[in-house]
Amino acid sequence: MRIRTLGVIGAMVLLTVPSGYAQKKKEVINDSNAPLHLLQPDYKVPYGVLTVEEVKGDMDRVLGYLEDETHTRVVDQKTGKVINDYANMNADAQLERGAFRLASYEWGVTYSAMMAAAEATGDSAYMKYVTDRFKFLAEVTPYFKKVYETYGTVDPQMKQIIAPHALDDAGAVCAAMIKAQIKDKSLDLKPLIENYMNHILYNEYRLADGTFARTRPQHNTLWLDDMFMGIPPVAYYSNIASDNQQKYVAESVKQVLQFADRMWVPEKKLFRHGWVEEMQDPPAFFWGRANGWALLTMCEVLDVLPENHPQREKVMNLFKQHVQGLAALQSGEGFWHQLLDRNDSYLETSATAIYVYCIAHAINKGWIDAITYGPVANLGWHAVSTQINEKGQVDGTCVGTGMAFDPAFYYYRPINVYAAHGYGPVIWAGAEIINMLNNQHPKMNDSAVQFYKKEQMTKEPIFHVSDPGNARDVVAGVSRKDSNSPVVLLIGDSTVKCGQGKGENKMWGWGSFLENYFDTDKITVENWALGGRSSRTYITEGLWSKVLAGIKPGDFLIIDFGHNDGGPLNTGRARASLKGTGDESQTVVMERHGGPETIYTFGHYLRTYVRQAKAKGANVIVTSHTPANRWTADRVNRCDQTYGKWAQEVAEAEGVDFIDLNEIIAQKYETMGKDATAALFVDGVHNTKEGALLNATCIVEGLKDLKSNQLNQYLKK
Q: Which residues are catalytic?
A: 494, 683, 686
SS3 449: strand
What distance in Å separates the CA atoms of residue 496 and residue 471, rounded to the nearest whole number? 12
**Length of the chain as a residue count:** 717
Residue 353 to residues 142, 233, 309, 431, 510, Cα–Cα distance (Å):
36, 21, 29, 11, 49
What distance in Å separates the CA atoms of residue 456 and residue 469, rounded to the nearest whole number? 13
187-196: long-range contacts, CB 8 A cutoff, minimum separation 24 = 187/131, 187/134, 187/135, 187/138, 188/138, 189/134, 189/138, 190/240, 191/138, 191/141, 192/137, 192/138, 192/141, 192/161, 193/237, 193/240, 195/161, 195/162, 195/164, 196/164, 196/170, 196/171, 196/233
What distance in Å separates the CA atoms of residue 611 and residue 615, rounded to the nearest whole number? 6
Residue type, 564: N
What distance in Å separates the CA atoms of residue 367 and residue 436, rounded to the nearest whole number? 13
Cβ neighbours, 10 Å, residue 693: 17
Half-sphere CA count of 437, side-chain side, radius 13 A: 21
Half-sphere CA count of 710, side-chain side, radius 13 A: 13
CB 229 within 8 A of CB 171: yes
Instruction: List beta partners, residue 518.
Output: 715
Cβ neighbours, 10 Å, residue 302: 21
Helices (H), 586-673: 602-615, 643-654, 661-672
Residue type, 521: D
The dihedral over CA atoms of 482, 483, 485, 487, expressed in degrees to the nearest 10, equals 100
What distance in Å separates the CA atoms of residue 238 and residue 236, rounded to the nearest whole number? 5
Terminal alpha carbon distance of the chain: 63
DSSP-derived pairing of the beta strands 93-95 and 74-76: antiparallel
Instruction: List beta partners, residue 276.
Output: 221
What distance in Å separates the CA atoms of residue 51 and residue 525, rounded to the nearest whole number? 30
* Sign (positive or negative) of CA dihedral 81, 84, 89, 91: positive
